Structure 1
Amino acid sequence: MAPSKDRQRRLARAKFDRQMARRAVRERKRRRVLAGAGTALAVVLVAVGGAWIGGAFDSKENTAAEAPDICLWSPRDVSGNTALKDVGTPPTKDLPQTGTETMTIDTNQGAAITATLDVTSAPCGAANFSYLAGKKFFDGTDCHEILDIGAVHCGDPSGTGQGGPAYSYYDENLPVQPEPAPSPSAAAKPAVLYPTGTVATVGSPAGSNGSQFLIFFKDYAPTTDPVYSIVGQVTGGQDTLAKIGKIPTVTDGAGEKVKPKEKITIKSLTVAADTAAAAPTASAQS
């Protein structure tokens, strides 16, 4: 019996060894498969990571280049100047940069004054007028000064010279003084940089524009560097402008003889895009 039992134990042992060997083979295969899968996954992750860093999964909005700012509007401290009115700010992007717009000023002095705004040369000035007109900022305000340089001063609801919106913007389209004469014998009169009908912005302080503007009713030839940015030119209502220029002035609260003896009230001021304009006006986007 012993030999038979020994034989059975040997057969059982051999069977067990074969089972262990097959199990080991299967385990090695499984490990190779997992290793290969891990390597493939690592490669995929590296590729995906590179694509992500490169922006392959960004949305169309993110891949498109962001529109640049065309105009910048600097905030003013409303608490420090009660003459300022907070009406928000115009948009900074997607503003017209070419062509013209038509500004119509209806006053109590006669036929409406119309002016062409030069969007190409003064895109921010035009956008500012358009935006404020859309807010009815100028409606019911008085032109509070007639200046000895031959211009009527408008656009300040407070009538103090310190009023305007709660933002400002930089100068643009300043005229340039011509080169001086080569010799004293060839000296000439100062050049007219603001011809009759010019619409220009007034900064308070200079270089910090808001809502205030001048309309020149006679030619102006400054003897110093010009400080008024040109934004447009009167094209209609010249008789009304000439009438305004003849209104006598009296002394204002500061002792200057610039206050019109009779009121010059802007009943409404509107800005409309000319038919050739390809982009909407700022007031339409407000």
Structure 2
Amino acid sequence: MICRSRALLCAVALVSLVGGCTATPSSAPQVARRIAASDSPSQAGGACRWMPVPSGNGASVKDVGTPPAAVPSGAKATMSLATNLGAVEIAMDAKAAPCAVASFSYLAGKKFFDGTACHRLTTAGLFVLQCGDPSGTSTGGPAYQYAEENLGTSAGYLRGSVAIARTQQPGTSGSQFFINYADNLPLSADYTRLGTVTKGMDIIDKVAAGGVTPGGNGPDDGVPKTRIVLQQVTVVYN
């Protein structure tokens, strides 16, 4: 389950219910059509499309404006997370997910993530640490959303990979992202693969080993007991 917002998103070939996630077995992970960067639904005429988050959907919005429309020309970027536990670095693929990378670069420049804690850890069936919500409620994000990019098979969610959470509905990617600290091969291919952790997986492992304070989704899904705070987030194009 990768959940964001009260209309919770459930993956790992699961069926979701508004207000919670309920697991239903599936014979195989969902496989979405691979979308090349050149025909991404996030783009139109060489520009990124930022859509306003609908009002009344229960989201906790932090409005910092919208990024520039132009698709970035760089092929790679590095997102650095200075945390209370040490440094984590993520190599982002700006060629495969240019609008997602542009969004994270913009939000980092606005200090959108600074001082926020990773709000969700899952430790059974799905193994992710989820961050990027200034409200800390799983419902937070910017006042805009955008379509998913670079979808393919679930083989992309291997240990160390980073992807963007969304709600049940396509086209609702925002600021929340999840780090796979173990292979999550049953995870349905619905989430933009943003990049790969190149430094600091030991920190993620430490948080995962600390376990969770159980939340509304069960005993293995909740706030990490080992608190990890994104003190400063920066993005640099390589």
Measured against the shorter chain, the TM-score band is 0.7 to 0.9
Q: Show the 5 A alignment for 1:10-49.
A: none
1:109-156 Cα shifts (integer Å, max 9, x gaps): 2x2000111000000110011000000000000101112311100001
2:52 aligns with: 75
The amino acid that maps onto 2:67 is P
- How many percent of aligned residue pairs carry the same amino acid? 41
RMSD: 2.0
Q: For residue 173 of structure 2, what is the aligned residue in structure 1? A: 209
User: 1:263 is matched with which residue: 227, 231, 236?
Assistant: 227
Structure 1 or 2: more strand by fraction: 2
Is the contact between residue 199 and residue 232 of structure 1 (CA under 8 Å) also seen in structure 2?
yes
Unaligned runs of 5+ in 2: 1-43
Distance 1:199 1:253 in 2: 24
Letter of the 2:69 counterpart = T
Shift of 1:80: 5.6
CA distance in 2, matches of 1:211, 1:205: 15
Aligned to 1:105: 81
Report the residue type matching 1:84 in the other structure: V
CA gap 1:261/1:214 in 2 versus in 1, 3 angstroms? same
- Work out whether 1:129 is the aligned partner of 2:93: no
Q: Partner amino acid for 1:76?
A: V
Corresponding residue for residue 226 of structure 1: 189
TM-score (norm 2): 0.74
Per-residue CA deviation, residues 3-25 of structure 1 (Å, 9 max, x unaligned), is xxxxxxxxxxxxxxxxxxxxxxx
Which amino acid is the alignment partner of residue 214 of structure 1? F
Shift of 1:255: 5.3
Q: Deviations over 1:154-190 (max 9, x none)?
A: 001111211100000001112325xxxxxxxxxxxxx
Q: Give the deviation of 1:261 after TM superposition.
A: 1.5
8 Å contact kept, 1:73–1:167: yes
Question: Structure 1 residues 255, 238: CA separation in 2 closer, same or farther (over 3 Å shift)?
Answer: closer
Could you list the per-position Cα deviations for residues 245-286 of structure 1 after superposition, in whole angstroms to 9, with x for gaps in the alignment? 212112225655322123211111110111xxxxxxxxxxxx
Which ranges in structure 1 are unaligned for 5 or more consecutive residues?
A: 1-66, 178-191, 275-286
1:105·1:113 contact (CA, 8 Å) conserved in 2?
yes
- 1:83-123 CA distances to partner (integer Å, 9 max, x unpaired)? 10111001112x324410110011112x2000111000000
SS of the aligned residue for 2:150 comes to coil
Alignment of 1:144-223 (within 5 A): 144-148=119-123, 149-176=126-153, 192-207=155-170, 208-222=172-186
Aligned AA for 1:100? K
Contact 1:206 1:227 in 2 (8 A): no
8 Å CA contact 2:59, 2:141 repeated in 1: no
For normalisation by structure 1, the TM-score amounts to: 0.62
Tell me the amino acid that sits aligned with residue 147 of structure 1: T
Write the letter of the residue equivalent to 2:184.
Y
- In the alignment, residue 156 of structure 1 is paired with which amino acid? D
Relative to 1, partners in 2 of residues 1:78 and 1:269: Cα closer, same or farther, differing over 3 Å?
farther
Structure with a larger share of its residues in helix = 1
Alignment of 1:77-96 (within 5 A): 77=54, 81=58, 83-93=60-70, 95-96=71-72
What is the distance in 2 between the residues matched to 1:135 and 1:169? 18
